[in-house]
């Protein structure tokens, strides 16, 4: 059957979360005089935060922790790694981060052009994100891509995250789509690719971070513009 519905992951597939988060944290870091207080260079802090945050998101994806645990620990644990036991500072980072990241809305290179191309070709586009519901819709709106999508689905809506088949079933029903006409495009091998493939969707793996994963029936791209040669 011909593909009609395309489900995109959002963060680091279309919306450049890695860059936007970096710029946001740098703003908060500077405003809170963290270097002055603790002589901790921002780049060292950010490197450790990135590692800890990625691990926590993997644990959320795998159902080991919930979002409240992540929000309580990602900044506190990052500071604690450097011997800084400052709950108030960690709370300040967490409180400001989700709001202020929306001040930055850089898209992954080629995202606009790809959405224009797919829309013109007649595909029906959707977002399916593991990100927090309170920011997922606003990221799409503020970055100017909201109108390309018929549905925008956050896993928070049913508190089930990719790769769980339940979230794929929910997203397809919300979109009025069927498996045989649907595809998932994303950058997370487990959540987006293995999850969607096992559910019965066609998949494209956007290897934006050069993970070099491969599997049967998985098309791999390194840049979004390559999708134009596949669809």
Structural domain including 52 reads: 17-103
Q: What band does 134 get if pLDDT is binned at 50, 70 and 90?
A: confident
Question: Do residues 191 and 163 make contact, with C-beta atoms less than 8 angstroms apart?
Answer: yes
pLDDT of residue 45: 98
Which of residues 103, 118, 149 is at a domain's end?
103
Q: Which residues contact 2 (CB under 8 A, 6 or more apart)?
A: 181
Q: Is a pLDDT exceeding 90 seen at residue 28?
A: yes
- 1 has pLDDT over 80: no
If asked whether residues 116 and 210 sit together in one domain, one would say yes
Q: What is the pTM of this model?
A: 0.94
pLDDT tens, residue by residue, 46-102: 999 999 999 999 999 999 999 999 999 999 999 999 999 999 999 999 999 988 999
Strands laid side by side in the 149-154 sheet? 149-154, 124-129, 5-8, 182-186, 202-206, 219-221
Residues 9 and 25 in one domain: no
210 with 124, same domain: the answer is yes
pLDDT of residue 129: 98
Same domain, 78 and 46: yes
Instruction: Please write the tens of the pLDDT for every residue from 162-213.
Output: 999 999 999 999 999 999 999 999 999 999 999 999 999 999 999 999 999 9
* CA angle centred on 8, ends 19 and 115, rounded to 5°: 85
72 and 136, same structural domain?
no
Same domain for 113 and 204, yes or no, is yes
Q: Residue 19: which pLDDT band, with cuts at 50, 70 and 90?
A: very high
Q: How many domains does the chain have?
A: 2
CATH code of the domain containing 209? 3.40.50.1000
Query: Does the pLDDT value for residue 121 go beyond 80?
Result: yes
Same domain, 9 and 116: yes
* pLDDT confidence of residue 106: 97
Cα torsion through 67, 13, 107, 11, rounded to 10: 0
Lowest model confidence (mean pLDDT) among 1-5, 32-36, 112-116, 190-194: 1-5
What does the DSSP assignment read for 82-97? TT---HHHHHHHHHHH
Which CATH number does the domain housing residue 43 bear? 1.10.150.240
Domain-terminating residue out of 87, 103, 119: 103
Cβ-in-10-Å burial (0-12, 13-18, 19+) of 217 comes to exposed
**Paired residues of 220 in beta bridges:** 205
Q: Is 27 exposed, middle or buried (0-12, 13-18, 19+ CB in 10 A)?
A: middle
DSSP, res 180: G
pLDDT at 68: 95
- Domain co-membership, 65 together with 85: yes
pLDDT tens digits for 220-229?
Answer: 999 999 999 9
Q: Are 10 and 32 members of one domain?
A: no
Same domain as 219, residue 160: yes
Q: Do residue 95 and residue 112 come from a single domain?
A: no
77 and 181 share a domain?
no
Nearest residue to 182 (alpha-carbon basis) of 36, 5, 8: 5
């Amino acid at each position: 059957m011909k593909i009609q519905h395309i489900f995109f992951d959002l963060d680091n597939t279309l919306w450049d979360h890695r860059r936007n988060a970096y710029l946001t944290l740098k703003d908060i870091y500077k405003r809170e005089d963290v270097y002055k207080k603790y002589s901790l260079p921002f780049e060292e802090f950010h490197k450790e935060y990135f590692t800890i945050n990625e691990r926590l998101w993997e644990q959320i994806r795998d159902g080991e922790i919930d979002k409240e645990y992540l929000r309580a620990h990602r900044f506190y644990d990052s500071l604690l790694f450097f011997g800084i036991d400052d709950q108030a500072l960690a709370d300040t980072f967490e409180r400001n981060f989700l709001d202020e990241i929306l001040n930055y809305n850089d898209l992954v290179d080629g995202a606009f052009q790809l959405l224009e191309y797919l829309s013109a070709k007649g595909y029906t586009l959707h977002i399916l994100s593991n990100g927090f519901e309170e920011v997922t819709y606003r990221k799409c709106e503020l970055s100017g891509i909201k109108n390309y999508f018929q549905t925008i689905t956050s896993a928070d809506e049913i508190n089930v995250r990719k790769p769980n088949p339940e979230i794929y079933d929910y997203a397809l029903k919300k979109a009025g789509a069927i498996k045989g006409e649907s595809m998932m495009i994303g950058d997370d091998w487990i959540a987006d690719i293995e999850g969607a493939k096992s559910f019965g969707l066609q998949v494209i793996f956007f290897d934006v971070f050069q993970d070099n994963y491969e599997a049967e029936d998985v098309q791999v791209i390194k840049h979004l513009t390559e999708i134009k040669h596949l669809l």
